[in-house]
Amino acid sequence: MSLDLERPLRNPDTSSPPLMTKRARWLVLWGFVLPGSAQVLAGNRKLGRFGLAATFVMLALVLVGVAGMLVAQETTLSVLTNSIFLLVLQGVIFAYAVLWLVLGFDTLRLARLVSVAPKWRVPVAMLAVILTVLPAGAAAWAGLTVGAARGAIGDIFGGGAPAVEAIDGRYNILLLGADAGEDREGLRPDSISLVSVDAETGQSVIVGLPRDLTEMPFPETSPLYPVHPNGFCAGPNAFGEYGGCLTTGQLNGLYAEVELVNDPQYGYLYTDLYPDAASRGSSPGIEAMKDAVSGATGLTVQFYVLVDMSGFAALIDALGGVTIDVTQPIPLGGYEDPATGMWVDGDSYLPVGAQHMDGETALLFARVRHGLQNGDYDRMQHQRQLQAAILAQANPSNVLLRFQEVAAAGSNVVRTDIPESMLGRFVDLATKAKDHTPVAVELIPPMVDPMYPDYTQIHRLVADGVAAASPLPEQSE
Pairing status of strand 353-357 against strand 322-326: antiparallel
CA–CA dist 280, 277 (Å, integer): 5
Report the pLDDT value the prediction gives residue 132, as an integer from 0 to 100.
Answer: 92
- Which residue type occupies 454? D
Which residues lie closer than 8 Å to 229 by C-beta, 6 or more apart?
218, 237
Same domain, 111 and 182: no
CA–CA dist 114, 17 (Å, integer): 9
Dihedral, 133, 135, 136, 140 alpha carbons, nearest 10: 130
Q: What is the value of pTM for the model shown?
A: 0.74
Pairing status of strand 303-308 against strand 349-350: unpaired
- Which residue type occupies 388? A
| CB-CB contact of 107 with 128 (8 Å) | yes
CA–CA dist 111, 125 (Å, integer): 9
Instruction: Report DSSP letters for 166-216, one per residue.
Output: -BTTEEEEEEEEE---TTS-S--EEEEEEEEEETTT--EEEEEE-TT-B-P
Domain assignment present for 376: no
Same domain, 131 and 82: yes
Domain assignment present for 350: no
Angle of helix 73-80 versus helix 423-433 axis, rounded to 10: 130
CA–CA dist 206, 186 (Å, integer): 26
Domain assignment present for 377: no
Q: For 320-330, write each residue's pLDDT tens digit.
A: 888 888 888 87
Among residues 109, 133, 156, the one where a domain terminates is 156
In whole angstroms, how far apart are CA 79 and each of 27, 75, 199?
Answer: 38, 6, 19
Domain assignment present for 71: yes
Instruction: Give 370's DSSP letter.
Output: T
Domain assignment present for 351: no
Q: Which domain holds residue 294?
A: 170-319+394-468
Same domain, 134 and 8: yes
Angle at 447 between CA 381 and CA 191, to 5 degrees: 30
Report the pLDDT value the prediction gives residue 411, as an integer from 0 to 100.
Answer: 60
CA–CA dist 282, 258 (Å, integer): 13
Among residues 129, 156, 183, the one where a domain terminates is 156
Q: Is 182 exposed, middle or buried (0-12, 13-18, 19+ CB in 10 A)?
A: exposed
Same domain, 152 and 218: no
Instruction: Give 447's DSSP letter.
Output: T
Same domain, 119 and 202: no
Same domain, 41 and 186: no
C-alpha torsion sign, points 256, 259, 264, 265: positive
Domain assignment present for 303: yes
Same domain, 124 and 179: no
Instruction: Give 357's DSSP letter.
Output: E
Among residues 109, 124, 156, the one where a domain terminates is 156
Same domain, 35 and 70: yes
Same domain, 433 and 294: yes
* Rg of the chain taking only CA atoms, in angstroms: 30
Report the pLDDT value the prediction gives residue 144, as an integer from 0 to 100.
Answer: 87
Q: For 344-401, write each residue's pLDDT tens digit.
A: 666 677 788 888 888 888 877 877 777 677 777 777 777 777 777 776 665 544 444 5
| CB-CB contact of 176 with 305 (8 Å) | yes
Cis upstream peptide for 236 (omega within 30°): yes
Report the pLDDT value the prediction gives residue 1, as an integer from 0 to 100.
Answer: 40
Domain assignment present for 61: yes
Dihedral, 386, 305, 75, 397 alpha carbons, nearest 10: 20
Best CA proximity match to 212, nearest among 392, 444, 457? 444
Best CA proximity match to 390, nearest among 464, 334, 312? 312
Helix (H) or strand (E) holding 330: strand 330-331
End-to-end CA distance of the chain: 72
Same domain, 27 and 104: yes
Same domain, 91 and 199: no
Domain assignment present for 163: no
**CA 241 from centroid of its chain's CA atoms:** 46
- Which residue type occupies 5? L
Best CA proximity match to 395, nearest among 430, 366, 425, 371? 430
Best CA proximity match to 206, nearest among 445, 450, 438, 457? 438
Instruction: Give the full edge-to-edge strand order of the sheet including 189-198.
Output: 414-416, 303-308, 170-178, 189-198, 204-209, 439-442
Report the pLDDT value the prediction gives residue 3, as an integer from 0 to 100.
Answer: 45
| CB-CB contact of 217 with 458 (8 Å) | no
CA–CA dist 301, 292 (Å, integer): 9
Q: Which residue ranges in the chain fall short of pLDDT 70?
A: 1-8, 158-160, 179-187, 261-272, 310-311, 333-347, 371, 391-413, 472-477
| Count of domains for the chain | 2
Which CATH number is 431's domain given? 3.30.420.590
CA–CA dist 471, 449 (Å, integer): 31
- Which residue type occupies 465? G
Same domain, 117 and 197: no
